[in-house]
Structure 1
């Protein structure tokens, strides 16, 4: 079983992020939000691939699923205003 905090640590170590929050309580299915300026100009699928790359072979093995919401810092600011 894997811990959400470890996934968050790996993402933060592998990608310049302004904000990362990962949740999951069964040890194999997780969801999270990742905000990074490196997402500027990238399609959402490329953003997700960049996050998955930080987790390497854990994806599909120890981590069965990771549902992501990715944002640029500007998108994140706008999203927070809508709450």
Structure 2
């Protein structure tokens, strides 16, 4: 199987999981995904990752070890964005 591009990985995740925000960066060998989904509410980090792997299904079984991810709920994402924006005018 050809190595997926970040855009393909992003599409795979989006097809299987309702995301409010999704970015995937990578070089074909290693990927880093930032995934924000309301489905993560109340789920542990492990459960969130399992949910993403479930969304990917068989499409990336070979590549899954090369995917690192940050999984956030919309509230966590908003809090992180707020704490990152320390420019008070």
Question: For the residues of structure 2 that align with 1:22 and 1:80, how far apart are their CA atoms?
Answer: 18
Structure 1, residues 20-40: CA drift from partner, whole Å, max 9, x if none? 000001x12100100000100
Aligned alpha-carbon RMSD (Å): 1.3
Q: Secondary structure at the match of 2:42?
A: coil
After TM superposition, the runs of 4+ consecutive aligned structure 1 residues lying more than 3 A away are: none
Q: Secondary structure at the match of 1:16?
A: coil
Question: For the residues of structure 2 that align with 1:52 and 1:16, how far apart are their CA atoms?
Answer: 14
Compute the displacement of 1:52 (Å): 1.1
Which TM-score applies when normalising by structure 1?
0.90
Uncovered stretches (5+) of structure 2, i.e. residues with no partner: 85-89
Q: How many residues align?
A: 82
Indicate the residue corresponding to 1:42 in structure 2: 43
Indicate the residue corresponding to 1:55 in structure 2: 56
Mapped contact 1:29–1:65 kept (Cα < 8 A): yes
Uncovered stretches (5+) of structure 1, i.e. residues with no partner: none
Mapped contact 1:23–1:30 kept (Cα < 8 A): yes
Q: Structure 1 residue 6 and structure 2 residue 14: aligned?
A: no
Compute the displacement of 1:15 (Å): 0.6
Mapped contact 1:28–1:63 kept (Cα < 8 A): no
